[in-house]
Amino acid sequence: MTTTTHLIHQRRFLPLFVTQLLGAFNDNLYKNAMVLFVVYSIYNSEAQEGRFSAIASAAFIIPFVVFSALSGQLADLRDKARIIRIVKTCEIGIMLVGACGLLLAWRRVEVDAVAIPLMLAALFAMGLHSTFFGPIKYAILPQHLQEDEVLAGTGLVEAGTYIAILAGTIVAGWIPVEAAAVVVVLTALVGFVAGRQVPPAPPSECGRALEFPLLRPVFARISSPVARTLIFVPVFLADQGWSAWRLVSNTMRFRPVFLAIMAISFFWTVGAVLFIQFPPLAKNVLGASKEVASLFLVVFSIGIAIGSVLINRLLKGKVSARYSPASVIVMGLFVVAFHLVCKAWVLPTDRVLMGAATFIGHPLAVPLLLSLLGIAISGGMFVVPLYAFLTTIVDKSETARTIAANNIVNSAAMALGSALAVTLSRWHVSIVNQVLLSGAMCLVSALLGYLLYRAERHHELSIHHG
């Protein structure tokens, strides 16, 4: 098995690793700094806080649903390294807008009318940035790495992503929002420099054009520039919706790919529900400060990184869903444990929000954090082999579009989970009880993981006997 130490020193891997690490850091620093500041410093009701957290999550997720088909086509039909450079250039402008929103909110200047719309617009644009970068960071691995290096490379990318999430979350929880505004811009600049070092990754398919099944026929019938301008946005969005549907349906005809994508989607639905609930849960259920909400995300990120590396060692370089069903069942059990500890939590009588040091001293703090760590470790062990499976089970020319289809379904599932959480809140279901929703989803993921492993074994036998 190729060691991770060997890969991390290779130019065919290191610049990509650094670029995606900085991108994940910036995403999470900006999003968490924004959400924590609004939840703890702008709003004063659980309903407003939960609604804003859900809106922020939706703003980041929507671009994946709308534009993933286009991003997958671009990644397969254009040089992936060139797309990385363009995307990282755009990140600089996006973070300048986001920084302005953070600074206006900090100064309490037109918060509802200007600052929050600016912050959400930048978050939407960062979601768009990640939509176009996401397929590339996985699809480029089989192109630059040997076959026996792909699982190690995928594990490093996943571990690096969650280490970056960890770092971004820590920084967001502990530095002032005005300092966060400066850091996100500087990080975007460094990410731009790193992205320029990624070696060329030419497309596997040549001579093909981007597909616009609705836009081109409509424009062929309309010659007026004014009419074209007026209808461009709605027709383009309809085009992308149709392309997304066709991409997903074509990709998921292959049963192992269908099962892998569905299993990953249910996993990220669980993650989305938990991440949405962390800030209001920490503030209103546990009586804890924003540093504690940040601590939850830190523990979750550490656990995912540990699980990513651990499963690579268990599988010894082989891409397989062998341990996925058991991993996600264990994850569900830890979710139930987390729920039970939250139910038993006793709020401080003075109603003063606990800092991190006071929180750690609470009798139930250690069981709570261990439950959360268990959720994350088992989750990392579940999801990493599935990503590697998606990039190796299909032809190299189809990997980017396969990941794009996966992103579309994942995003739709996360949006559905967010909408369900908001609906449950309106039905006066407490945040603590909503956590059990994640445990139920783990059972579905376990079934999908088991079916995937059976399909994987059948595929291997058919190749062996074929």
Instruction: Report the percentage of the chain scoring pLDDT > 90.
Output: 17
Q: What is the model's pTM?
A: 0.72
Average pLDDT of the residues in 309-336: 85
pLDDT tens by residue, 355-364:
888 888 888 9
Q: What is the 3-state secondary structure (H, E, C) of the chain?
A: CCCHHHHHCCCCCHHHHHHHHHHHHHHHHHHHHHHHHHHHHHCCCHHHHHHHHHHHHHHHHHHHHHHHHHHHHHHHHCCHHHHHHHHHHHHHHHHHHHHHHHHHHHCCCCHHHHHHHHHHHHHHHHHHHHHHHHHHHHHCHHHHCCHHHHHHHHHHHHHHHHHHHHHHHHHHHHCCHHHHHHHHHHHHHHHHHHHCCCCCCCCCCCCCCCCCCCHHHHHHHCCCHHHHHHHHHHHHHHHHHHHHHHHHHHHCCCHHHHHHHHHHHHHHHHHHHHHHHHHHHHHHHCCECHHHHHHHHHHHHHHHHHHHHHHHHHHCCCCCCCCHHHHHHHHHHHHHHHHHHHHHCCCCCCCCCECHHHHHCCCCHHHHHHHHHHHHHHHHHHHHHHHHHHHHHCCHHHHHHHHHHHHHHHHHHHHHHHHHHHHHHHCCCCHHHHHHHHHHHHHHHHHHHHHHHHHHHHHHHHHHHC
Mean pLDDT of the chain: 81
pLDDT tens by residue, 76-112:
777 888 888 999 999 999 999 999 999 998 888 777 7
Q: Using pLDDT thresholds of 50, 70 and 90, give the confidence band for residue 374.
A: very high
pLDDT tens by residue, 226-274:
777 777 667 777 777 777 777 788 877 778 888 888 888 888 787 777 7
Specify the higher pLDDT residue, 370 or 427.
370
Average pLDDT of the residues in 53-82: 80
Q: Using pLDDT thresholds of 50, 70 and 90, give the confidence band for residue 2.
A: very low
pLDDT for residue 48: 73
Instruction: Report the percentage of the chain scoring pLDDT > 70.
Output: 90
pLDDT higher than 50, residue 169: yes
Specify the higher pLDDT residue, 448 or 51.
448
Average pLDDT of the residues in 119-129: 92
pLDDT for residue 323: 87
Q: Using pLDDT thresholds of 50, 70 and 90, give the confidence band for residue 1.
A: very low
